[in-house]
Amino acid sequence: MARMSKENVGRFFAALAAERPDPTTELDYINPYTLLVAVVLSAQATDVSVNKATAELFKAVDTPAKMIAYGEPKLRDAIKTIGLYRTKAANVIRLSEILAQKHGGAVPANREALEELPGVGRKTANVVLNVAFGQPTIAVDTHIFRLANRTGLAPGKDPRAVEEALEAVVPEQYLRHAHHWLILHGRYVCTARNPKCAACVVRDLCLYEAKTTADVPAAANASPARRPSNKDRVSSARATGRRAPRRARRRGATSRGGTAR
C-alpha cells in the first residue's frame, strides 16, 4: 500500500488546519463527566442521535452522584432512541458508581483508570483524554481508519496499528487536533462512498487510486511502481471501503483483515 512522504504528511495537516483552525467534537457536553457519558453513548450511534437524547438528560444530570440518583430505568427511557440503549444505560450507571466510589466523582485523566470503566475502551478513553484533558491522543474510529489507509497517510490493518502509525508520522504541532481534523474530513469530505475529491483540500497529496483526479497536477499523482497483486487489491478494498474487483476477491482473499469499528 502506498505511503505518504513525511513532507506531504506535514502539508496534509497544514491544509486541514487552515480549513478548520479550531476543530472540536460534535458531541454536546457540559463537563468531563457528561463528555464521558456522551462518548459511551455514541458507540455505533451518530453524534446527532446522542445529542438529541442528552439535550434534556444533561440539564438534570451532570455528575455521577446525580446519575446514580436518577437511576437505570429513567436513564434507559431517556436514551431509548439510541442503539444498544439497555447495555449503555447499565454501563453508565455502573461507571458512575465507580467514579463516585474510586475517584471522588471526578473523571480520571489517565488511560488505565478510564479503561477500567464499563463501556470504555481505548477509543473512548482517547476521546476523553483529548477533548477533556487536552492530551494529544488519536481515537481511531471508522472515519479515521478509512482515511488513513485510503490516502496513504498512515496505513494499518486494524485501528490500533493506524493509531500507532499516525502517532509516528503526525508532526507534533498537529497532534493535539489531528483526531478531529481527520474525523471531520472523513465524515464530511472523504466519505466511505463517493468521496468529495473535487472539494478536498488535500486532494493533491492523497494517494487514493480512485480519487477524482481531473484537476490535479500530474506530479501529485505519482503512484507506486509495483503492480498491485489480487491480495493487495482485496486488502486495499477492505481498508478503504471500496469493493474489490470480482477476480481479485476470488483469487486474492486468503484471510480476513481487521475492520474498523
Q: One of 88, 141, 204, 211 is an active-site residue; which one?
A: 141
Active site residue 6: no
d(Cα 105, Cα 108) in Å, to the nearest integer? 9
Residue 149 CB neighbour total at 10 angstroms: 25
Please identify which residue in 91, 151, 235, 236 interacts with ligand SF4, judged by CB under 6 A: 151
Shortest Å distance, C-beta 49 to ligand SF4: 25
Shortest Å distance, C-beta 186 to ligand SF4: 8
Look at the chain and count its residues.
261
d(Cα 32, Cα 108) in Å, to the nearest integer? 9
Grid coordinates of 216? 490535479
Residue 149 found at the interface with ligand SF4 (CB under 6 A):
no
Shortest Å distance, C-beta 195 to ligand SF4: 4
Residue 150 found at the interface with ligand SF4 (CB under 6 A):
yes
Q: One of 28, 80, 123, 232 is an active-site residue; which one?
A: 123
> Would you give the binding string for ligand SF4 spanning residues 190-219, x where CB under 6 A is met?
x----xxx--x-xx--x-x--x--------
Q: Which is nearer to ligand SF4, 43 or 197 (CB)?
A: 197
**Residue count, binding to ligand SF4 (CB under 6 A):** 13
d(Cα 1, Cα 224) in Å, to the nearest integer? 8
Contacts of 121 (CB under 8 A, 6+ apart): 115
Q: Which is nearer to ligand SF4, 117 or 169 (CB)?
A: 169
Q: Which is nearer to ligand SF4, 129 or 200 (CB)?
A: 200
Residue 189 found at the interface with ligand SF4 (CB under 6 A):
yes
d(Cα 50, Cα 68) in Å, to the nearest integer? 20
Shortest Å distance, C-beta 221 to ligand SF4: 11
Residue 103 found at the interface with ligand SF4 (CB under 6 A):
no
Of the ranges 45-53, 56-64, 88-96, 188-196, which one interacts with ligand SF4 (CB under 6 A)?
188-196
Active site residue 231: no
Binding-site ranges for ligand SF4 (CB under 6 A): 150-151, 189-190, 195-197, 200, 202-203, 206, 208, 211
Please give the positions annotated as active site: 123, 141
